[in-house]
């Protein structure tokens, strides 16, 4: 099972250019990324998936509820 790390940061966040995409596309990108990397945090996911951060959080919450990813 893929694991999402909890991180604490006190640095200024980087600017991430987001792409418009459907929820289904973003969800599939998250699943593909987690299958390939096994472990990530939300900042790394956001940089690589490049979808809206609110959409990313919603997808992560759904995947956790479905048991497809876990906090680790």
Cα–Cα dist 12/9, whole Å = 8
Averaged pLDDT, 27-49: 94
Q: State the pLDDT at residue 62.
A: 97
End-to-end CA distance of the chain: 10
5 domain-assigned: no
Q: State the pLDDT at residue 4.
A: 64
Of the listed ranges 12-21, 28-37, 39-48, the least confidently predicted one is 12-21
7 domain-assigned: no
Domain that holds residue 29: 17-71
Cα–Cα dist 3/63, whole Å = 11
Residue 38 DSSP label: S
24 domain-assigned: yes
6 domain-assigned: no
Number of domains composing the chain = 1
Residue showing tokens 């995409």: 21
Q: What percent of the chain has pLDDT over 90?
A: 65
25 domain-assigned: yes
């Amino acid at each position: 099972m893929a694991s999402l790390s909890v991180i604490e940061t006190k640095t200024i966040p980087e600017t991430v250019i987001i792409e418009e995409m459907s929820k289904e596309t973003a969800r599939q990108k998250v699943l593909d990324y987690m299958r390939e990397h096994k472990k990530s945090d939300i900042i790394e996911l956001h940089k690589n998936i490049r979808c809206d951060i609110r959409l990313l959080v919603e997808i992560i919450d759904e995947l956790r509820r479905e048991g497809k990813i876990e906090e680790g």
